[in-house]
Chains A and B, each alone.
Chain A
């Protein structure tokens, strides 16, 4: 079982806003930043959000991240069909001395 907890699935219609949650503990999200990855079918993960809420160059501003306490969230506004993918959260864990990931959320665009 994954150290960080995400809902296994989420869905929305084009143009809608969806939010994916990520829950952890004091040893990971509570004391370190969250990063989010997007994995399109059959491809490697791609960094989508880093340092809780920063977008790498080239990532549309439809994607945003937030963190509060031991939880975080990824928001996608103006949902598009190409956003259909798996999304993973990640954080450093001080107790495990390594990075930990969420189990992933499969986003379906209806």
Chain B
């Protein structure tokens, strides 16, 4: 069974860098069939897509975060990472990693999710 587990600091100071890791078990991140994404849920708001990395390392980002966000993958460690620079209180959220699968119909969907990790931006 595929399992995703996010980890990282629960508290980040304003203007500093948020860094999270998603460890994948029960499957390989290098499979051609899958991409891997980060999504966040700010308190009292809805889900927001942050970005995605494909099996080949291609990245796609939410334009509202462009310039502050980097997603990378480490296939030998089977993990995906998120870096968000210059954080503010608006970046406080539960951060999720998820698998993006296209399948035969070619519609990418987030079919497996981690449990999420709460990151609070505060001094």
Chains A and B bind each other: no
Give the A-binding residues of B (Cβ under 8 A): none
